[in-house]
Amino acid sequence: MVSQPGGFSEENLVPLLDLVLQMLMFFMACTNLAKENFNEGIKLPLAQSAKPVDDLGSDILYVNVDEKGNLVGIPVEPKFPDGKIDGMEGKVIQDGRVVNPGTFNYLLRLRQIESYLRGIYKDKKSLAEKRKDDPGVVRTLVILRAHQDANYKDVFNVLRLCRGAEFHKMELRATIDSR
């Protein structure tokens, strides 16, 4: 408070405004990160019953499988410039557009998914080595979001590859049937 002649005082609102703006920026950043983990093109299957979502912690890997069995919504990198793993040999992408779709190779897609998951596990392992409690223990929860029209074989193979990459905690997502 700043005292003025005459006995009146003004409150300094600058620290309060600073705190409010910092909280606003924090929640905006959290919202953007949460949006990146979901792919709206994935229509989850319906479940007759479901349990409420537990507190999952912060180390979560979302794996989105579309109706064709491709992994979608992955970070864009030189190996996957269009953000999906689809097993297409000879696919050519220029300026973010597929110029030549290439030919589908199922075994190539499995190898690409395996390589992607092992790379993520390796990164999570190196982070776990630096942690003070339980050094080296990877606590990542893999949440598989498969499209309702995805083939069971494709979903099973993604789960198998997650297990092969040494991820041990996995969950499947579904929407509740409201009938």
- Name all domains of the chain by residue range, CATH numbers in brackets: 2-36 (no CATH), 46-176 (3.30.420)
Q: What pLDDT score was predicted for residue 166? A: 92
- CB count within 10 Å of CB 141 equals 16
User: What CA–CA distances, in Å, run from 67 to 8, 71, 86, 109, 133?
Assistant: 69, 10, 11, 14, 40
pLDDT category at 55 given cuts 50, 70, 90 is: low
How far, in Å, CA of 91 to CA of 88, rounded?
6
Task: Tell which wins on pLDDT, 78 or 170.
Answer: 170
pTM over 0.85: no
Mean pLDDT of the chain: 81
- CB count within 10 Å of CB 56 equals 11
